[in-house]
Amino acid sequence: MPVARRKARVLCGMMMMLNIFLCVLVAVSWNLGHDRRAPGKVRVPASRFWRQQAPSKVFWNKEQQRLDFNYNPVINSGLSTDSLMPDWLNDTGPLNPCEPDYRVPTQILDYNLLPPQFQDFLLHMRCRMYPMLINQPYVCDEKPFLLLAVKSLIPHFDRRQAIRETWGQAGVLANRTVVTVFLLGNTLSSDHFPDLRVMLGREAKLHKDLLQWDYRDTFFNLTLKEVLFLEWFSKHCPHAQFILKGDDDVFVNTLRIIDLLEGLSEVKAKDLFIGDVISNASPHRDRKLKYFIPESVFVGRYPPYAGGGGYLYSGELAMRLHNVSQQVVLYPIDDVYTGMCLKKLGLVPEKHTGFRTFDIEEKYRSNPCIYRSLMLVHSRTPQQMLKIWPWIVRPELDCQ
């Protein structure tokens, strides 16, 4: 009998513990499903986790909405985009993205009033692949510390030669390997340029530093030059540690650039992107200006961006920019476009006072020591480059 009683007591104890556990479980579940600040009320989200966007009436913004939808990881993780994509985003344009997109004139009200080169950009905005006419696939075999990528035009033979003899000297500089490439497009017969193909071919054979693609080289296609360069970089020069990208009329203090880069920490170098940064900018609406963008093409503010005259960034970041550029619609101003790509990566370019893409005060332009303290200045003629470079490398010049 005592044994039976002990068993009954143990059983009762176990039942009590089970009841207590169930009560705690119910209480926790109740608290999770109700707002503690409003007892008795079930918490309901104030808005949807993902909400379909209203269609933009502006051409570029609408094209970007289409890309944002296609690259949305929430939508595209096992769900059918065809069933979710709104009708207004389903118009994909021509099957071949490099065919002229003749929908464009019907979608931009003032299309016929835009400059011809702007119209040409818009018609071919979806195309990102153009054949290379001149390549240098082995130029980076030495895994350069610094790659100088210079935007140039076919007729600018004198500028390229001045750069080769001054700040763009390829080889070993300050015990670091430096490689220089010049980025070129092509011309159409309607552009009324002389036929310089023979001269260009000789230049390419002699210096082995020209990269040329078969697209129309205009101001509005500088963005195309940017994405084509990033594509080339990812294939032929991915081990370059840093890139200085600039125009062929800037002067660069390459020695000071190298000195700056050598002092960077590994963490700082990874996301490096510095230049003459412009913030809180908006599109210019004056049709007389070079940077004019109509409201029918783009609305909104620009992200912070470094002036396209020249900026410095890491090779690792260049690879990420190449990947993310597929998610950003081409924009007719190349430095703004690069700022858009950086924003997609969650990065902001850093302003450095040594980059003067809007020049320096006239009274300082003949001062040798000023150029010793700068990284980059815009703009300078070939003759001025040849004059300034000795000021940089001359050891007897005392700027203390």
User: Mapping DSSP to helix (H, G, I), strand (E, B) and coil, where does residue 176 land?
Assistant: strand
CB 357 within 8 A of CB 249: no
Distance CA 213, CA 230 (A): 13
Q: What is the 3-state secondary structure (H, E, C) of 119-134?
A: HHHHHCCCCCCCCEEE
Distance CA 86, CA 74 (A): 16
pLDDT of residue 151: 98
Nearest CA-CA partner of 397 in 255, 260, 250, 248: 255
Cis amide bond preceding 379, omega within 30: yes
CB 310 within 8 A of CB 376: yes
Digit-by-digit pLDDT tens for the chain (400 residues) are 555 555 555 455 555 565 555 554 545 454 544 444 455 555 555 655 555 667 899 999 999 999 998 888 665 555 444 555 565 556 666 778 999 999 999 999 999 999 999 999 999 999 999 999 999 999 999 999 999 999 999 999 999 999 999 999 999 998 999 999 999 999 987 777 889 999 999 999 999 999 999 999 999 999 999 999 999 999 999 999 999 999 999 999 999 999 999 999 999 999 999 999 999 999 999 999 999 999 999 999 999 999 999 999 999 999 999 999 999 999 999 999 999 999 999 999 999 999 999 999 999 999 999 999 999 999 999 999 999 999 999 877 788 6
pLDDT of residue 4: 53
pLDDT of residue 124: 95
CB 145 within 8 A of CB 241: yes
Q: Tokens at residue 261, please?
A: 């880069």
pLDDT of residue 26: 47
Q: Report pTM.
A: 0.85
What would be the CATH architecture of the domain defined by 132-393?
A: Alpha-Beta Complex (3.90)
Distance CA 168, CA 149 (A): 9
CB 146 within 8 A of CB 262: no
